[in-house]
Structure 1
Amino acid sequence: MNKPTDNDGGGAPVPGVKKYSRFLEFYKKEGGEKDMSSIEHSNGRWLFVTILVFFSIALSGVLSLLLGYWYFNRQLGQDRKYEVKVAVSGDPKIISGDELVYLVDYANLSGVELRDARIHIRYPAGFSLLSVLPEPTGDSSIWDLGVLSSGATGQIKIIGRILGEKDSSKTLSSVLYFVPHNFNSEFQEIGSTTGKIVGSDLSLALEIPDEMYVGEKVRGLIVYKSLRNEPLGNIKIDFENPSSFEILSSSVLLDPVENVFIIKNAVAEGEIAIEGIWGAHPGEDKQSIKLLGELGDESNFYRQSEIEKTMNVLRSDIESSLVANGSAEKSAIYPGDLLQYSLSIGNKSDALLEKIEVVFVVEGKSDFNNSHLRKDFRLLDWDVAKFNAPPLVKLLDIPKDQSFIFERRQMTWGEGEYKELAKLSPEGEIELSLSLPVTSSAAIKNLLGVDDFGRIEMESHFEVRVGKTGGKSLGQVIRSNSIRSILHSDLALDSAIRYFDENSVPIGSGPLPPEVGKETKYRVFWKLSQSFHESGTVSVRAVLPDGVSWAGNIRVGAGEMEYDFKNKVISWKINQLPSFTREISAVFDIALVPEAKHSGQILVLVPKPSIEAVDLYLKSPIERYGKTLTTNLEGDSIGQGKGIVGE
């Protein structure tokens, strides 16, 4: 069947054919005038007209807005340069802690009224509002002015107290929002003033002897004062002292972690009584103690003043030294560890010391109220404590205002407990020792009654009391240095090596026991766990010995494991471990090819790995070690004992 054309008499017309034929007809005509009316136009003309109308309307709207804006600004600028004025004035030199007065002046100098006018004040950091006139209509920073008629003026008076560090700048700004008459857009005008802090209202002084002896207690005063004789508000005093100087007591509680005093709502003048001691000679006689004073609001403190006191520190004729696990200052302890103390006493005088008594005091402290603790909570297991000379032990009462202390225990040695204390010759020394196990993680959590907990530590020191010197009664008391032993996360690594799995299926290969010149493969299992305090930047590291090589097959539950072929270092790194991490594993294979010199020996396959991390609660480093793995395959029920290299 033929398709219908334009000349066909029957059939339905084919869309587009007629139009196309008309174009052909138009172009085929020769000699005649081209008649454009013979062309049938498409509906595209109507689309073009619609778009043209739309853009015409939009352009008219934009022109109207521009004309309105031009008209308003022309009206504002007919006679004056600035038609809406906002000016803020204040003292350019500021004394931190002092009262300040700011004036915010505003005026409508235009020829039209302004609607919906409001002022928004932006206060600088450290500013405390004391009074304002007139009162704000919203919060303390917003004033709704309503309609400002032409020529209207006004003023806001702000009185406040500002805190900041010396040489810092403080800016108070004011924004006036308004809508001009017969206009819908909002405009704004900004005014501000900036002042520089040139001094502080806080004055500090430290009254303490210029000369001190190691081991002897000294008393002093920290005096704070307002130079304008007005209440100071909140004060923080940082006590920066050499590590061998210790504050024993104070009339204001000293934060033992930050080493700061905080006085809230302080009056114009006050003092803090302190008692301190040089527990050991710092190495040089000239020493300095520094105080840093800060004033604060509800959320922040700002450094104000700094003083430094220099003194002479002299050696005593009686020396005392306390060491715990090799440290004379602060040390980390872990659940299940052994805390070993050494108390040393030396006679540096020319006289005989007699009737010596040693009193050792241990205090358990936490950063939470001890009302949460069970009464039988003990961080150290005193039932299995060991002494080179058993002392007299006494539990001391805990003051009601010191709820952060959960235990206070005293041990005393006299000549009856340790006969060497009866007499100590010149240049003679006496040493007492004791070891105390740290309670296990499970026991600590059970006794605390909580799953996760904060800072727990033991603080210890001892005193030497001398009855006679050179045959004369003396009653001299010398105090040792103090040691803080802080409980860290119980992060631990369990290491194992196997040839057979738990179902007695071989997962290693090669001869067992290993043989000279032949390769034996083993599988190593590392498992990390912890039950309190989050740990960060965890790194487990081990170096393979000669004759042992990396055999791959890595599987890790978290983090990344890498092997450095050049240095033979295995490293496993994890960004963060949650408080309750029961087990995260890493598995890898190693290979051993013994040499002739190894025949008849049990060989080390993986030396004890080191564990380094950060206790994220204490923000303190963690250093632990795993166990060494050998060819003896401890823990492999079938392979254990088959570790001696054969020929």
Structure 2
Amino acid sequence: MTARKAPIDDVSEDLRSIYTEKDGAMPDLTRLERTGASRLTRFLAGSIVVLGLLSAAAWAGFFVWNRGIFDAQTPLTVTIEGQETIRAGERVYLTISYHNRARLPVSQLEMKLNLPLGFEMLSASPEPTDGTTWNFGTLSAESDGSVVISGIFRSEVPSTQTLQAFFTYAPANTSSEFQEIGTWRADIQDSVLDAAITGPEKALPGDEATYLVEVRNSGSERLERVRVTASLPSGFAVTSSEPAVSSPDVVQWDIDAIEPGAIAPIVLRGRFASTVSGDQLLTANVSLLTADTTVLAQTRADVHTDVLGGNLAFHLVANGSSETVATDLGDAVRVSIDWANQGNERIEGVVFTLNLDGSGKPLPINWEAADLGGGSRTGSSIVWSATQLETFGSMDPNASGIIDLNLPVVVDPANIADRFTMTLTASLQKVGSVESPRTIESTPITVSINSDLTAFADARYYTDDGEPIGTGPLPPKAGETTTYRIFWDVANTLHPLSNVVLTTNLPPDVVWIDKKQTDIGTITFDEITRLVRWTIPKLPTDIKTASGFFDVAITPDEDDAGAFFKLTNATSVDARDDVTGDNIAHALDILTTELPNDANAAGKGIVAE
């Protein structure tokens, strides 16, 4: 089939009907006429142009202000110049320079120095306005200034120290505050303090050894607050020093000041114990102290001494230890002294002396019940000589023996030393055919007495006044519920304690009643483990006693009739002595319905049918 085409005349007629104007004439479609823009359009276009010009002017002003006037991101630059590798105690000079690069002045210019720990400022030019603060006021355009300071670093060696200068200022024509920071770092790898220590290359146990420590100030400034601390080998006992030590517990000397070029000497004397042999290292550590006694290490010096094995060897042991031990009141200190002649010559005139020192307080020893191992006591000293042990008059080579003592500790802590030291000294007169009087001392043992913590557990139905605090039948009856109150009490007077804990497990047929109370700390119950726990984080000595209680309930069955009913299992008591550092542990017996301390419930503890 062929598609029919519309006649051309029909199409022309349709177009003519579309474009014919009202008067029947056809428009000239060969050219187009432009109509004029409206006033609104022209106004909007003009506004856009004006706003664009204003924006361009604003940005131009911004760049002029920030770059044209200040010529940089910040108008003020800060630099600090000084020696970067220095010695502690040596005077250093630092120059802090500041430069206003802007074409306008800056006002309210102020500098604050942040000094590192141990730096002592000796001078400043110009001088600070207050402390380490300088108020410069106004700094004119394109001008500069500087501050020169001097001081010494009383700093740890080695260390890196940082000094900072904080500048604050306000540029002209603005009220905003700007800040600039200058930083300077120095590496301190050495000190003006030099140390040397000399002593014997060889020594025998018991012979007095003398050591000389010299600390020299090689700098140009007077150094104050210098500390020298001796690190001594175990078994070296100091007998004297010049000057005397500054602390009774640490071998150290505090020197007020050492002048430039001067030497501060220290003479240290002591003896090596009988147990010491071989190479022994002694060290002198030199430090500077800050105003708040912070220790800043400077230098050290070492010396080695070869301790030759002596003929007479002996050891002191207390409660299985040759160091610090702790024991409880009412317990005992078990002491052993083993001795032997390790040489090839006979030793004559041997005397052992065990000295106990309570620092002026009565010793906590029950001497009447003590076993002195055959020794003779005079005051706080126990002596063994040929009078007590014939062997000590003339001790053959390879002879040996052990002396055992038992020193019971008193129960009452009132007016006793809660800490004392034991020192064993051996003296001898002759080795072989050579007269060789000497005294040898063992390493002292410190014995600390733990605090007098006691605890008490009790079950009650009545108070002491006869008021019931339990409920239900008494004696308890099968098939019926009776409640009881469990009391825990602790007492302590000697030392403060921490982590005081009392715990017990409730039997399966005992019910926890959530009724509890304590003077201090908290009582909790774990439903899964059935553990009752009383926790006291801190128990100071001004709290002499503390108490707590909790209630439990029982419902016996017929199989329980005719016997006491168990209310709690054994109670454990644990605490840490804050003075001795030792753990204190006690155990308390189980509690039943017997109620032996409840007079009003006497004879009413057996379960009835």
Q: TM-score, normalised by structure 2?
A: 0.71
Label 1:465 to 1:177 Cα distance change in 2 as closer, same or farther (>3 A). Answer: same
Amino acid at match of 1:629: D
What is the CA deviation profile of residues 473-502 of structure 1, one whole-angstrom value per residue up to 9, with x for unaligned ones? Answer: 4323221120223456x3613122335553
Check whether the contact 2:510–2:567 (CA below 8 A) recurs between aligned residues: no
SS in 1 for 2:350: strand
What residue in structure 1 maps to residue 189 of structure 2? 198
Amino acid at match of 1:302: L
What residue in structure 2 maps to residue 165 of structure 1? 156
Q: Say yes or no: does 1:431 pair with 2:431.
A: no
Tell me which structure has the larger Cα radius of gyration.
2
Aligned-pair distance for 1:83?
Answer: 3.6
Q: Say yes or no: does 1:493 pair with 2:454.
A: yes
The correspondence of residues 28-47 of structure 1 with structure 2, limited to 5 A, is none
The correspondence of residues 115-194 of structure 1 with structure 2, limited to 5 A, is 115-139=107-131, 141-194=132-185
Q: Determine the C-alpha separation between the residues in 1 that align with 2:511 and 2:311.
A: 60
Q: Say yes or no: does 1:540 pair with 2:501.
A: yes
What residue in structure 2 maps to residue 31 of structure 1? none
Q: Determine the C-alpha separation between the residues in 1 that align with 2:563 and 2:431.
A: 64
What residue in structure 2 maps to residue 356 of structure 1? 350
What residue in structure 1 maps to residue 335 of structure 2? 342
Q: Say yes or no: does 1:583 pair with 2:577.
A: no
Aligned-pair distance for 1:565?
Answer: 7.4
Aligned-pair distance for 1:117?
Answer: 2.5
Q: Say yes or no: does 1:321 pair with 2:321.
A: no
SS in 1 for 2:156: coil
Amino acid at match of 2:288: L
Check whether the contact 1:382–1:436 (CA below 8 A) recurs between aligned residues: yes
> How many pairs are equivalent?
536
Q: Say yes or no: does 1:265 pair with 2:225.
A: no
SS in 2 for 1:609: strand
Amino acid at match of 2:156: E
Percent identity between the two aligned chains: 22
What residue in structure 1 maps to residue 378 of structure 2? 393
What residue in structure 2 maps to residue 461 of structure 1? 423
Check whether the contact 2:510–2:552 (CA below 8 A) recurs between aligned residues: yes
Check whether the contact 1:127–1:163 (CA below 8 A) recurs between aligned residues: yes
What is the CA deviation profile of residues 271-320 of structure 1, one whole-angstrom value per residue up to 9, with x for unaligned ones? Answer: 332234444647x8455455544322212222333555555555433223
Label 1:385 to 1:234 Cα distance change in 2 as closer, same or farther (>3 A). Answer: farther
SS in 2 for 1:359: strand
Check whether the contact 2:274–2:441 (CA below 8 A) recurs between aligned residues: no
What residue in structure 2 maps to residue 111 of structure 1? 103
Give the alignment's Cα RMSD to 1 decimal.
Answer: 4.8
Amino acid at match of 1:356: V
Q: Determine the C-alpha separation between the residues in 2 that align with 1:320 and 1:331.
A: 19
Tell me which of 591, 612, 637 is aligned to 2:575.
Answer: 612
SS in 1 for 2:581: strand
Aligned-pair distance for 1:190?
Answer: 2.1
Label 1:583 to 1:192 Cα distance change in 2 as closer, same or farther (>3 A). Answer: same
Check whether the contact 2:222–2:257 (CA below 8 A) recurs between aligned residues: yes
The correspondence of residues 262-341 of structure 1 with structure 2, limited to 5 A, is 262-267=254-259, 268-279=262-273, 281=275, 285=278, 288-299=281-292, 300-306=294-300, 312-332=306-326, 336=329, 340=333
Aligned-pair distance for 1:424?
Answer: 4.3
> What are structure 2's unaligned runs of at least 5 residues?
1-58
Check whether the contact 1:495–1:524 (CA below 8 A) recurs between aligned residues: no
Check whether the contact 1:98–1:161 (CA below 8 A) recurs between aligned residues: yes
Q: Say yes or no: does 1:624 pair with 2:584.
A: yes
Label 1:234 to 1:183 Cα distance change in 2 as closer, same or farther (>3 A). Answer: same
Check whether the contact 2:229–2:284 (CA below 8 A) recurs between aligned residues: yes
Amino acid at match of 2:88: S
Q: Determine the C-alpha separation between the residues in 2 that align with 1:210 and 1:548.
A: 75
> What are structure 1's unaligned runs of at least 5 residues?
1-65, 366-375, 395-408, 448-455
What is the CA deviation profile of residues 351-392 of structure 1, one whole-angstrom value per residue up to 9, with x for unaligned ones? Answer: 444433233333344xxxxxxxxxx85354687684525645
Label 1:126 to 1:319 Cα distance change in 2 as closer, same or farther (>3 A). Answer: same
Q: Determine the C-alpha separation between the residues in 2 that align with 1:513 and 1:357.
A: 69
Check whether the contact 2:81–2:95 (CA below 8 A) recurs between aligned residues: yes
The correspondence of residues 237-276 of structure 1 with structure 2, limited to 5 A, is 237-251=228-242, 252-253=244-245, 255=247, 257=249, 260-267=252-259, 268-276=262-270
Check whether the contact 1:378–1:439 (CA below 8 A) recurs between aligned residues: no
Q: Determine the C-alpha separation between the residues in 1 that align with 2:528 and 2:274.
A: 47
SS in 1 for 2:423: strand
Q: Say yes or no: does 1:93 pair with 2:56.
A: no
Amino acid at match of 1:172: L
Amino acid at match of 1:622: D
Label 1:540 to 1:168 Cα distance change in 2 as closer, same or farther (>3 A). Answer: same
Q: Determine the C-alpha separation between the residues in 2 that align with 1:390 and 1:644.
A: 56
SS in 2 for 1:581: coil
Label 1:547 to 1:114 Cα distance change in 2 as closer, same or farther (>3 A). Answer: closer
Aligned-pair distance for 1:222?
Answer: 3.4
SS in 2 for 1:462: strand
Q: Determine the C-alpha separation between the residues in 2 that align with 1:430 and 1:175.
A: 73
What residue in structure 2 maps to residue 378 of structure 1? 362
Amino acid at match of 2:378: V
What is the CA deviation profile of residues 498-518 of structure 1, one whole-angstrom value per residue up to 9, with x for unaligned ones? Answer: 355534677789999999xx9
Amino acid at match of 1:108: N
Q: Determine the C-alpha separation between the residues in 2 that align with 1:319 and 1:197.
A: 48
Aligned-pair distance for 1:158?
Answer: 1.1
Q: Determine the C-alpha separation between the residues in 2 that align with 1:330 and 1:302.
A: 30
Q: Determine the C-alpha separation between the residues in 2 that align with 1:519 and 1:278.
A: 72
SS in 2 for 1:128: strand
Aligned-pair distance for 1:127?
Answer: 0.8
